[in-house]
Amino acid sequence: MLTTIRNLLDRSILFISSFALMLLVVTVTWQVFSRYVLNDPSSWTDELARYTMVWLGLLGASYLFGIKGHLAITLLDGYLRGNAHTALQLLINGICFAFVSLAMLKGGMALMGRTTQQLSPALQLPMSTVYSILPISAVIILIYLVLNTLDLFCKPSKK
């Protein structure tokens, strides 16, 4: 069941990220075309490309938590075996869980609340829509952290 949840989440993130990447390519291509060929630069493409890149980056970071590919210092991890290794992973997951819960989820929700009435200059989107990726990616990361923690107890240790 854990594998099914992880696979569904992985596929969803990859699908949305693929769409965001295609949107980014189309937007930047149109921006270059309108500026250099039509001599009439589009006013909204720069803003859409910027917001799409932020969404793509945070979704990609969320996906990295799922595949355990995020940046890590593995010096201590490489020396530990058995229960010590499991305890270290639990500590790391706990620290990550606390940070993501406080900074990304709680902070992102607060930021969304403060920017609901603020509109982006070119697209006239509520900035809370742009910032909504913070709590969205926080929830995804928290789900992956729970799955990764459960994996510590459900799968035989490789060390």
Average pLDDT, the chain: 92
Q: Is the dihedral of CA 94, 143, 54, 51 positive or negative?
A: negative
Instruction: Decide: 83 and 90 in contact? Cβ < 8 Å.
Output: no
Instruction: Please report the pLDDT score of residue 159 as a whole number.
Output: 47
| H-run or E-run covering 1 | none
Q: Is residue 62 part of a domain?
A: yes
3-state secondary structure of 116: coil
The residue with greater pLDDT, 28 or 71, is: 28
Instruction: Decide: 59 and 17 in contact? Cβ < 8 Å.
Output: yes
CA 119 to CA 142: how far, in whole Å? 29
Q: Is residue 28 part of a domain?
A: yes
Name the CA radius of gyration of the chain, rounded: 20
Q: Is residue 159 part of a domain?
A: no
The pTM (predicted TM-score) of the whole model is 0.88
Domain count, the chain: 1
Q: Is residue 43 part of a domain?
A: yes
Q: What number is the average pLDDT over the span 120-133? A: 95
The pLDDT of residue 104 is above 90: yes
Q: Is residue 7 part of a domain?
A: yes
HSE of 2, CA atoms in CB hemisphere, 13 A: 14
Q: Is residue 14 part of a domain?
A: yes
DSSP letter string, 52-82:
HHHHHHHHHHHHHHHTT-S----HHHHH--H
DSSP state of 38: S
Q: What number is the average pLDDT over the span 89-99? A: 94
HSE of 44, CA atoms in CB hemisphere, 13 A: 6
Q: What number is the average pLDDT over the span 85-105? A: 94
Domain containing residue 41 = 2-154
